[in-house]
Amino acid sequence: MGWLRNWRRRRLARGRNLPALAWSYAEASLPGLRRLGWQERRQLEALAVAFLDEKSFSGVAGASPDEAQLASIALQAVVPVRELGLDWYAPWRSVVLYPAGFVATHEYVDDDGVVHLLEGPLIGEAWEGGPLVLSLEDALRPAGAGSCVVVHECAHKLDMAQGEVNGLPPLPATLAVEVWARVFQQAYERLGRYVETAEAGEDGGEGGAERDESLWLLEGQGATLGQGLGTLDGSYGSGGNGCGRRCDRDNSSIAAFDPYAAEDPGEFFAVASETYFADPRRLRRAFPEVHEQLRQFYGWELPSGRGGMSHRSR
């Protein structure tokens, strides 16, 4: 019944406009929105109206978002799926908002069967099967350039569509799984070596242990767009922001990335995705091949620099 759903979305968009303040909030995290043309803004606004209609929002711990704040979160959330389509978000329905950062508790069982409890501060989280959990403060006022917690957590949701959070979402037929895996693995390993070296107090080298190359490729993966959209797995936090052709001896561009991106391949994909939309120049400088893979995956990019224009890839 996709045609009926799309008809309903178009009807909703004709009868509702978002508050102007919603765009101001969203532009704080995604500056490229300011340089979009009228038609592109209307397209995103229509998607945001549909997102607001199809998702349920709830404030906890005293969070009480107003209409403009909710609309801003919706605007940011639909940026990654402008070309992919809003149905990528169909498997989950709830958005939970904390007033600010929160402490999350997670349980896991190690190889010996011992149960462990982990607690840590987060500003966002994507739960298995939903919901999307966000700090309202950080969604509206990002910590710095290149940070967009809404896009970061929505990227986790896209990643979950393949069945496991590993940095390999369902890819369109135009993207080769082998190329994606190679590009992301090399960038992830490079960032990991840089972080390990920096933490060891060394200056500029790229030593450190080699990462497991199997992390990006799981047996049987390589689904095309539209497959595996009903499966969710994983529960992950939020972070900041990933090498390619020119960086073998130059770490300056990598240094601008939040080391949280080196946590695991799923976090690297989410961080690279938020940087792709929030600060595309930074991603191009550090990992141009990752930028190109994301451009082909998302199908468009926000403009960067004065007088820039957005570009479609499909």
**CA dist., res. 310 & res. 138, Å (int):** 25
Q: Model confidence over 252-309: pLDDT tens digits?
A: 566 666 778 889 999 999 999 999 999 999 999 999 999 999 999 999 999 875 444 5
Report pLDDT digits (tens) over 214-237: 455 443 344 333 333 222 233 333
Q: Of 264, 180, 174, whose CA–CA distance to 217 is shortest?
A: 180
Query: Which residues are paired to 56 by β-bridges?
Result: 94
What is the average per-residue pLDDT within 234-241?
32
pTM of the prediction?
0.78
Tens of pLDDT, residue by residue over 129-180, are: 889 999 999 999 987 788 899 999 999 999 999 888 999 999 999 999 999 9
Structure tokens at 299: 């199908």
Instruction: Give the containing element (helix H, strand E) for 142.
Output: none
Q: pLDDT by residue (tens digit) across 2-21?
A: 666 665 666 665 667 889 99
Would you state the pLDDT for residue 240?
33
| Residues 6+ positions from 97 with CB-CB distance below 8 Å | 57, 58, 59, 60, 63, 65, 73, 133, 134, 135, 136, 139
In angstroms, the CA 81 to CA 293 distance is 15
Nearby residues of 163 by Cβ (< 8 Å), 6 or more positions away: 228, 231, 233
Instruction: Measure the CA–CA gap between 288 and 280, rounded to whole angstroms.
Output: 10
